């Protein structure tokens, strides 16, 4: 296996474990998102210095509006996802969060003028059915948490918006995009945290500070560095396939480390969500190959 593939697999394992650490950080979700943006952007800045290069100011200036908007959305995406962890299990929140490809598929005809085919519609319906199973609303006497589900789905919608917005960012490196977006996410979170939270009440002990640093350095700085450092050498279809390592790892950690319950119905729902999005990526790959062959 190539070094690039190992990098992206490691990045997915790191992202899949983020819920484990967030669960044990006794801070508001907005404060964790702020810390993640600050620590992550500082890490990437140190990486730039180590590599003796600076962000491309001209490319950033040309895409500044989109970078600011997408960066702000990333901050609120973290806020919603982390808050979802507090209301429901990591497995449920992650499964709902991975509805993002569904929303990308539904919005693509409007934003990107892409055709919505019948197989794609079937994938969307399968994913939505999976979300219903994961939520537990069909279980008799279930104690499902509507707020946790709503926050996870909202995070998916916000991140889908970021994905679509990034389609319009041109002629700039992935590292520069990530650095600016993380920095903007942190800047946006600063006033939000100080307005909505009592900052003087924030308190962490030694191990909790370690968890926060792990989220900022490993789950943000290093994971993004590994992810974008592998993109140039790996086809986008392969990257899309490997991305499903993230939710699988999250569900496994949630079940076996946090001892959070995952019913058979919830497991089937997770398979529906992940399977439908994976199959949707396969259909997209097949369509691109067909179009390329017909153009020759």
- Average of pLDDT values for 127-150? 70
What is the predicted pLDDT for the residue at 139?
Answer: 63
Whether the per-residue pLDDT at 143 is higher than 60: the answer is no
Residue entry with tokens 């076996």: 256
- Average of pLDDT values for 138-143? 55
Contact 253, 34 (CB under 8 A): no
Q: How far apart are CA 279 and CA 216, in angstroms?
A: 32
Contact 98, 245 (CB under 8 A): no
SS3 labels along the chain: CCHHHHHHHHHHHHHHCHHHHHCCCCCCHHHHHHHHHHHHHHHHHHHHHHCCCCCCHHHHHHCHHHHHHHHHHHHHHHHHHHHHHHHCCHHHHHHHHCCHHHHHHHHHHHHCCCCCCHHHHHHHHHHHHHHHHHHCCCCCCCCCCHHHHHHHHHHHHHHHHHHHHHCCCCCCCHHHHHHHHHHHHHHHHHHHHHHHCCHHHCCCCHHHHHHHHHHHHHHHHHHHHHHHHHHCCCCHHHHHHHCCHHHHHHHHHHHHCCCCCCCHHHHHHHHHHHHHHHHHHHHHHHHHHHHHHHHC
What is the predicted pLDDT for the residue at 240?
Answer: 62
pLDDT tens column, 19-35: 889 989 999 989 999 99
Q: What is the pTM of this model?
A: 0.78
- Which of 91, 169, 83, 162 minimizes the C-alpha distance to 133? 91
Residue entry with tokens 């319009």: 168
pLDDT tens column, 249-285: 888 888 788 887 777 877 787 788 778 767 766 766 6
What is the predicted pLDDT for the residue at 130?
Answer: 79
The domain of 163 spans: 3-295
What is the predicted pLDDT for the residue at 157?
Answer: 92
Is the Cα dihedral 276, 237, 170, 218 positive or negative?
positive
What is the predicted pLDDT for the residue at 144?
Answer: 58
Q: What is the mean pLDDT of the chain?
A: 82
Task: Go through the chain and tell me how many residues it has.
Answer: 296
Share of the chain above pLDDT 70, in %: 87
What is the predicted pLDDT for the residue at 125?
Answer: 80
Share of the chain above pLDDT 90, in %: 26
pLDDT tens column, 64-115: 999 999 999 999 999 999 999 888 888 788 878 878 877 877 887 888 777 7
Give φ, ψ of 95 to 5 degrees: -60, -45
Of residues 1 and 225, more confidence is placed in 225
Tally the domains of the chain. 1
Q: How far apart are CA 181 and CA 76, in angstroms?
A: 12
Under the banding of pLDDT at 50, 70 and 90, the label for residue 217 is very high
């Amino acid at each position: 296996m190539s070094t690039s593939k190992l990098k992206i697999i490691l990045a997915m394992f790191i992202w899949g474990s983020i819920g484990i650490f967030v669960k044990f950080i006794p801070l508001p979700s907005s404060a964790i998102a702020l810390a993640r943006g600050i620590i992550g952007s500082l890490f990437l800045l140190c990486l730039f210095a180590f590599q003796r290069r600076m962000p491309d100011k001209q490319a950033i200036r040309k895409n500044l509006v989109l970078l600011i908007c997408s960066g702000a959305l990333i901050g609120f995406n973290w806020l919603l996802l982390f808050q979802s962890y507090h209301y429901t299990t990591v497995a449920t929140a992650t499964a709902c969060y991975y509805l993002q490809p569904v929303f990308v598929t539904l919005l693509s005809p409007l934003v990107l003028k892409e055709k919505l085919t019948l197989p794609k519609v079937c994938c969307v319906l399968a994913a939505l059915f999976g979300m219903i199973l994961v939520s537990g609303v069909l279980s008799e006497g279930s104690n499902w948490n509507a707020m946790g589900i709503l926050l996870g789905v909202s995070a998916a919608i916000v991140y889908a918006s970021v994905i679509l917005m990034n389609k319009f960012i041109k002629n700039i490196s992935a590292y520069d995009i990530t650095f600016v977006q993380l920095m903007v996410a942190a800047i946006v979170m600063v006033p939000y945290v100080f307005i909505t939270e009592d900052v003087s009440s924030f308190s962490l002990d030694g191990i909790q500070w370690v968890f926060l640093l792990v989220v900022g350095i490993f789950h943000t700085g290093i994971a993004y560095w590994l992810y974008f450092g592998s993109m140039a050498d790996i086809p986008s279809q392969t990257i899309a396939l490997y991305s499903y390592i993230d939710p699988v790892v999250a569900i496994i950690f949630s079940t076996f480390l946090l001892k959070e319950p995952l019913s058979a119905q919830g497991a089937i729902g997770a398979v529906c969500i992940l399977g439908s999005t994976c199959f949707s990526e396969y259909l997209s790959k097949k369509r691109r190959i067909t179009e390329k062959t017909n153009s020759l």
